[in-house]
Every structure is written in C-alpha cells, then in structure tokens.
Amino acid sequence: MIMNMCEVTEILYEGKSKILYRCKDEVLILVKYKDSVTAFNGEKSDELFGKGRLNAAISNLIYEYLEVNGIKTHLVKVIDESSVLVKKAEIIPAEVIVRNVAAGSFSKKYGVDEGVALPHPTVEFSLKSDTLGDPLINVSHITALGLATSAELEEMKRLSLLINELLSGLFQKAGIRLIDFKLEFGRAAESGELLLCDEISPDSCRLWQIGTDCKLDKDRYRRDLGGVLDSYEEVLRRLQGVEL
Ligand code: TMP
Ligand code: ASP
C-alpha cells in the first residue's frame, strides 16, 4: 500500500516520536508515528503500545479540519493507521506556542497558578534545539540568527491565532478546553509557501476536560498521573463524535 503512494528509499531522520522516510518523489516524505513517549527533552522515555496510532489519528483528523477551514498544511494522504504522506518542507526552527490558560512553563516562569484564564491568547516562540532545551526566543533574536524573516514570523503568528480559534471551537464541541499548544511551520520544498507541519496531538497540546479539568494530554506522562493512553483514546473518541 505504502509502496503505491511513495517508494520509500531510506530513513531521513528519526526523532523522539516519529521516523521520517525519504521518498522517491523528492517533494514527499513518509512520516511514521512511533509508540515512544518522552518528556523533559528526552530525559524520561517509555514505549506506550498504540500511542503512535492514536496521535496519528488525532493529528490527521485535526489537519483535515484545518485544511477544510483554509489552513495550508503539509498533509497529503493518510497511508495507514500510523503513517502519513506529507509535503517535504524546510522546518523553521522557531516553534510557536499559543496559550489560552496559564499552565506549564508559563505558570512556573511568571508565578501564575495553573488554570488561570488569560484575558487574551499569548503567542511565544521557542528555538527548536534539543541540545539547548528549546529555549524561549524573541523575534529580534530569530531574525538576527537568520532563522526566519519578520514577514514569516508575522504570518506564523497570524496563522497560529487563527488555528487557536478553530481548534478552541473544535475541542469545545468535544467537551475539552484547549489550554495551550505548540505548532511548527515549514517552507514547502517546491513553492516555498508556509505550511503547518509536524503534528497536533495530546503530545503537543494541553487538553483539559470541561467541567472536571481532568488532564487528557502528555502532562499525564510528564507528571506520572497514569492513564496516558486512556486519555489519548478519550480525546480521539470525543473528536470523532464532533460533527465537522
Ligand atoms: P510549556 O508550558 O512546557 O512551555 O508547554 C507549552 C505547550 O507546548 C504544551 O501544550 C506542550 C507543548 N510542548 C511541546 O509540544 N513540545 C515541547 O517540547 C514542550 C516543552 C512543550
Ligand atoms: N518534547 C520534549 C521531549 O519529548 C519535552 C516535553 O514534551 O515535555 O522530551
């Protein structure tokens, strides 16, 4: 099946949660979601059988919803339950984090209790670097380092806020609060146009059940709360129940 869509030639890159395969068609990449889960820059890691399949299903559903709503993403075709074909893109090494509610590093850094709603969504960038631990980085640092132009960063910010509106609405219909999330953008190999890349899943979002504030995301793993796969399964089940 995979061979029909894309003749895989070799592993291009193996990350903490995905393997990227080079395809014969040079503008495509096959992404396989792994069952590995890591936290704290890989300090903590485990295998959770079925996690790859769940994240792939959740991310694919979200990307299809975003595409329908006018967001250009790297997604080309779902190949099997843990593999997708995507457009090759040069990833901009500045990750975008959008927050609706204080949590995680924001709460720690600024001394705000987790769960305090922010009066407006915040947008920040972090340098995509495992060796440096993805530090917070500002716009003038990003442009001075030549990682992205001001125009690209403005567009990434605009798209991220639009994606926040779309996803907050989607998750609300699923009975889930979108607390915060991380996005990655890339420049498409052929056209250079900005594409939403990587994944959107409970690994890259904080998702709390409306009414109970029960965590349904990777904080269950980071904080040893248990029930990681059950909560990912619950997110998928709820999203599948939303009429898109
Ligand atoms: P933070 O509060 O730890 O900065 O995380 C903010 C959001 O970004 C949260 O939804 C989890 C996501 N995230 C990632 O996707 N990858 C990462 O490496 C980190 C640290 C956070
Ligand atoms: N993404 C990072 C890791 O996998 C950190 C995290 O998500 O907590 O180690």
pTM of the model: 0.96
For ligand 2, atom 9: residue with the closest CA: 41
Bridge partners of 206?
A: 180
Indicate whether residue 125 lines ligand 1 (CB < 6 A): no
- pLDDT score for 130: 93
- Ligand 1 atom index nearest CA of 41: 18
Cα 41–chain centre separation: 16
Which residue in this structure is represented by tokens 């299809």?
64
- Ligand 2 atom index nearest CA of 222: 8
Residue 63 has pLDDT above 80, yes or no: yes
Q: Which ligand is nearest to the CA of 222?
A: 2
Task: Tokens for 164, please give them.
Answer: 């926040």
- pLDDT score for 167: 98
Which of 5-9, 78-82, 86-90, 133-137 is least confident?
A: 5-9
Cα 145–chain centre separation: 24
Q: Ligand 2 site: residues with CB under 6 angstroms?
A: 16, 38-42, 218, 222
Task: Let me know how many helices (H) and strands (E) the chain has, helices first.
Answer: 7, 14
Mean pLDDT score across all residues of the chain: 96
For ligand 1, atom 12: residue with the closest CA: 204
CA dist list (Å): 191 to 69, 159, 186: 21, 18, 11
